Amino acid sequence: MEKTALIMAGGRGERFWPKSRKSLPKQFLSLTDDGKTMIQLTVERILPIVNIENIYIATNKDYLPLIKEQLPDLPEKNVICEPIGRNTAPCIAVSAAIISKKYDDALMMVLPSDHLIKYNNIYQQILSDACEVAEKDDNLVTVGITPDYPETGYGYIKFLNGETEGRAYKVEKFVEKPNLGLAKEYVASNEYLWNSGQFIWKVSTILNKLKEHMPETYEGALKIKDAYDTEKYDEVLNKVFPEFPSISIDYGIMEKSENIYVIPGTFGWDDVGSWLAVERIKKVNECGNIVDGNIVSINTKNCIIQGDKKLIATVGLEDLVIVDTEDATLICDKKSTADIKKILEELKGLNKNEYL
Amino acid sequence: MEKTALIMAGGRGERFWPKSRKSLPKQFLSLTDDGKTMIQLTVERILPIVNIENIYIATNKDYLPLIKEQLPDLPEKNVICEPIGRNTAPCIAVSAAIISKKYDDALMMVLPSDHLIKYNNIYQQILSDACEVAEKDDNLVTVGITPDYPETGYGYIKFLNGETEGRAYKVEKFVEKPNLGLAKEYVASNEYLWNSGQFIWKVSTILNKLKEHMPETYEGALKIKDAYDTEKYDEVLNKVFPEFPSISIDYGIMEKSENIYVIPGTFGWDDVGSWLAVERIKKVNECGNIVDGNIVSINTKNCIIQGDKKLIATVGLEDLVIVDTEDATLICDKKSTADIKKILEELKGLNKNEYL
């Protein structure tokens, strides 16, 4: 069966402010030493298993120019421009419907656009394995990450050790982000995986599920499908899409479904959740600093310093994140990166929207 | 006797980098909340006792445009432009000689351009008292600051409690910057004052001293005096000045002289020696921060943040100095401000002279 992919690229990623902005969210930034952006890397790593003609990107319409610039080989009609964000369920419904106009049926991988993966070969193998499980019956397959430590920032997936389907395990339940005590129990139990937000299913399977559990969204998606590739497409999309409820696929479909399988993977996955993640993915110098730009440092260690042309001089610093952009400079203690969003709230309150 | 003043404004002030630069040293910066520059404040505080026509400024020729801009009322011919720095003795010799072309004799106050004084009335009284002592005999008078604590960054003046002349005490000796133990002894003894680098004498007195102890410099100064106010002035100045030895007035004259008196003063003197001094002179907000510019802060305390239009966002910081300028940003731990000069050395080594 033909393989297709939907890359979801509508997110904001406030945690990389001030480099990420409303107008330039995380998936369009380069955070690795190779200079490639997150979405470029996402496309690149699935190209060995999915033809570029079969890769779809759902995003906010404002980002179309960025996508055309960063992914010039991707057909423009494969970019599904959401007039307004409606969470993942409507986005997946419309994309699945549009793909069903091209293929009677096809495999569909739903992937985030702003995660990193270190071992691409292993990852491609996992996706292929997932496709095998998804092709059989009406299985919904997700990719679970073998946890390294009791992370409290991710959701977890509990699987049933005894019930397998190919290389996948039957999912018992999805659980929300736990507190530290619970997270420790999950990791110790060997029955939980991290939820990486990646799904694999047949287009027919997910459309049937939508028809069953979210019939109005399903009907709306069919209207958009009918208009797709005609001159009415923009008009219909802009009319129908905003009427969708804002619901996640986890809540709208996964929690209500049987036949969910998880493929466990260990392929150097990183959701690059904050500036601290840069320590895991960029080269560290002999003082423990990660520096980019025009930097001069005296007695400075274990800092992340990301600048550009402007000179940044640091003296006697430790454990700071310093990010300089054209119009804003962030200086943040490493322990406080979760509070960067408070800066954005403050800026909103001050009506300084030009910095968001 | 007519009162004149020489303000010495040739210094660099590396410790206020990146705001201070070779092209804009500390005396031309505003470091107070009133927006006035250090040299503007220096002139302003002596105007009640010295006519502007009698205020002379010695500086590097490159700073003439800054002086004309910041002190438009000062006669341009009162600015003595040194073609090259030669420490304080030659600068004072030339200025005294030039003043002696205008007045047979006059009182001459020699003052730094980059110190702050809080209580101007008290200060003016001290200068007037010093003039009285200087007018009598051939006294050399200096202003000593009553020490608040055992500072190791200043020179000290030991005075003789018994020998007074008007409100001044006879100086026993000048001593170099002490170590902490010595500084504590000095302060405990009640016989030492801080050396503030301010001198008051008659023009005739200092010229006689120069003739005695630095005869070549004296002769050179007379040549410049002869050319002053004629078309040959620039030519003579540029020829004679670079030939002067580079010697301080302390070493060249004071240490070799008798009849030195010190007037003790307590008038809120501050030599504004580093960014930390800003804490003593600017308004501190409720979090202990001193902020100027476009700043948004979360959980930030006891920081000095000096910016301009560019947004500076700080999160979870304590005890840092952050200074943002057009082309360079400094982030420095308060304990490490003495190391800012290492940044300048590094920049020199990297041949990045545009930042010096």
DSSP string, B164-221: EETTEEEEEEEEPPP-HHHHHHHHHHT-EEEEEEEEEEEHHHHHHHHHHH-HHHHHHH
Report the alpha-carbon distance of residue B329 to residue A317 in Å, rounded: 14
Give contacts of B355 with chain A, Cβ < 8 Å: 311
In total, chain A counts a number of residues equal to 356
CB B292 within 8 A of CB B249: no
Q: How far is B286 from chain A (nearest CA, A)?
A: 17
pLDDT score for B290: 97
B335 touches chain A (CB under 8 A): yes
B145, B172, B149, B150: which is closest to B160 by C-alpha? Answer: B172
Contact B304, B322 (CB under 8 A): yes
Q: What is the pLDDT of residue B118?
A: 93
Give CA angle at A178 (A177, A182), nearest 5°: 155
Q: What is the CB neighbour count within 10 angstroms for residue A161? A: 10
ipTM of the shown complex: 0.87
- Residues ≥6 apart with Cβ < 8 Å to A263: A126, A129, A130, A133, A141, A142, A143, A144, A167, A168, A169
- Cβ–Cβ contacts within 10 Å for residue B34, how many? 8
CA separation for the pair B253, B212 (Å, rounded):
9
The whole-angstrom distance between A277's CA and the closest CA on chain B is: 18
The pLDDT value recorded for residue B282 is 92
Q: How many Å apart are CA B82 and CA B270, to the nearest integer? A: 26
> How far separated are the first and last CA of chain B, in Å rounded?
43
In this prediction, residue B299 carries a pLDDT of 97
User: Tokens standing for B349?
Assistant: 């080594």
Q: Helix, strand, or coil here: A74?
A: coil
Spatial distance between the Cα atoms of A191 and A46, rounded to a whole number of angstroms? 28
Q: Which residue has the tokens 């003595």?
A: B80
> CA distances (Å), B188 to each of B146, B181, B184, B193, B322, in order?
12, 11, 6, 11, 36
Q: Does A14 touch chain B (CB under 8 A)?
A: no
What is the maximum span of chain B, computed from C-alpha positions, in angstroms? Answer: 64
Q: Are B241 and B224 contacting, i.e. CB atoms less than 8 angstroms apart?
A: yes
356 residues of chain B, pLDDT tens digit each:
999 999 999 987 788 999 999 999 999 999 999 999 999 999 999 999 999 999 999 999 999 999 999 999 999 999 999 999 999 999 999 999 999 999 999 999 999 999 999 999 999 999 999 999 999 999 999 999 999 999 998 999 999 988 999 999 999 999 999 999 999 999 999 999 999 999 999 999 999 999 999 999 999 999 999 999 999 999 999 999 999 999 999 999 998 999 999 999 989 999 998 999 999 899 999 999 999 999 999 999 999 999 999 999 999 999 999 999 999 999 999 999 999 999 999 999 999 999 99
pLDDT at residue A201, rounded to an integer: 98
How far A330 CA lies from chain B's nearest CA (Å)?
5
CA–CA min distance B13, chain A (Å): 17
**The pairing of beta strand A55-60 with beta strand A79-82:** parallel
Can you read off the two tokens belonging to residue A176? 């929300």
Q: CA-CA distance, B347 to B345, in Å (whole number)?
A: 5
The B residues from 119 to 158 touching A (CB cutoff 8 Å) are: none
DSSP reduced 3-state for B348: helix
Nearest to B254 by CA among B190, B198, B191, B185: B198
- Is the Cβ pair B329, A336 closer than 8 Å? no
Contact B343 A313 (CB under 8 A): yes
Sequence-distant (6+) residues with CB within 8 A of B244 are: B86, B89, B90, B93, B217, B220
List the structure tokens of B66. Answer: 């800054």
Q: Which of B313, B324, B335 has its CB closest to that of A18?
A: B313
User: What residues have CB less than 8 Å from A206, skipping those under 6 apart?
Assistant: A92, A93, A96, A108, A140, A253
Burial B67-89 (b: 16+ CB within 10 A, else e): beebbeebeeebbbbbeebbbbb
pLDDT digits (tens), chain A, 356 positions = 999 999 999 987 788 999 999 999 999 999 999 999 999 999 999 999 999 999 999 999 999 999 999 999 999 999 999 999 999 999 999 999 999 999 999 999 999 999 999 999 999 999 999 999 999 999 999 999 999 999 998 999 999 988 999 999 999 999 999 999 999 999 999 999 999 999 999 999 999 999 999 999 999 999 999 999 999 999 999 999 999 999 999 999 998 999 999 999 989 999 998 999 999 899 999 999 999 999 999 999 999 999 999 999 999 999 999 999 999 999 999 999 999 999 999 999 999 999 99
Region of A139 (left: φ > 0; alpha: ψ -120 to 50; beta: rest) is beta
Question: Could you check whether the bond before residue B18 is cis, i.e. omega within 30 degrees of 0?
Answer: yes
* Closest residue by Cα to residue B41 from B15, B9, B18, B10: B9
- Mutation for A interface: B311, B318, B350, most A CBs within 10 A: B311
Q: Which B residues in the span 300-319 are in contact with A, Cβ-Cβ below 8 Å? A: 310-317
Beta carbons of B82 and B203 less than 8 angstroms apart: no
Give chain A positions within 8 Å (CB) of B298.
336, 339, 342-343, 346
Whether B34 has its CB under 8 Å from any CB of chain A: the answer is no
Determine the 3-state secondary structure of A130 from DSSP: helix
Collapsing DSSP states into helix, strand and coil, what is residue B103? Answer: coil
Q: Which of A310, A327, A336 sits opposite B328 (nearest CB)?
A: A310
pLDDT attached to residue A262: 97
- β-pair partners for B333: B320
Query: Residue B15: its pLDDT value, please?
Result: 87
Is-contact A244 A217, C-beta < 8 A? yes
* 3-state SS, residue B281: helix
Q: What is the pLDDT of residues B108-158, one digit of tens each?
A: 999 999 999 999 999 999 999 999 999 999 999 999 999 999 999 899 999
Classify residue B259 as exposed, middle or buried by CB count within 10 Å of its CB (0-12, 13-18, 19+): middle
Q: Tell if the CB–CB gap between B311 and A337 is shorter than 8 Å.
A: no
Å from A343 to nearest chain B CA? 7
Contact of A346 with chain B, judged by CB distance below 8 Å, is answered with yes
